[in-house]
Amino acid sequence: RRAAFALALRRSYGRLGMPTAADVDQYFAPARDRAFARALHTLLHEFEWNACDDGRARGLRTPTVVICGDADRLVNRRTHDCFARDVPHARIHVVQEGGHALAEEVPAFVSSAIVNVLREVY
């Protein structure tokens, strides 16, 4: 099972880095708890993945930062484009060669983008 987590984690990264063995261990650690498997199953099967498809994103009024990687294999570019179209005040950042794990691939950039929007609000 750890090998499956390692593969999924490697696939979630773009071309800006690779997860270490310690990263894999930290992602795998909660998998030993049965509640984790139930929570993951619920996330995958009950989470509303279509906020853009049905127009709900248009209702966002809070400061919004969308940070996406152009090499993300899990969230397609259509979703990023939806936020740019439907949430006019959103700040969209596309990280070249970034994957889905941007907080780990480019942590300083992600932190900076979040801090910048918080400074504007507060």
Residue 55 Ramachandran class (φ > 0 left, ψ -120 to 50 alpha, else beta): left
Backbone angles phi, psi at 87, to 5 degrees: -125, 85
pLDDT of residue 24: 92
Averages of pLDDT over each 10 residues, the chain, 122 residues: 89 91 91 87 77 77 88 83 84 92 94 92 82
pLDDT of residue 115: 94
Sequence-distant (≥ 6) Cβ neighbours of residue 99 within 8 angstroms: 12, 13, 14, 15, 16, 69, 71, 72, 73, 105
Q: How far apart are CA 89 and CA 83, in angstroms?
A: 9
Q: How far apart are CA 93 and CA 66, in angstroms?
A: 6
pLDDT of residue 51: 64
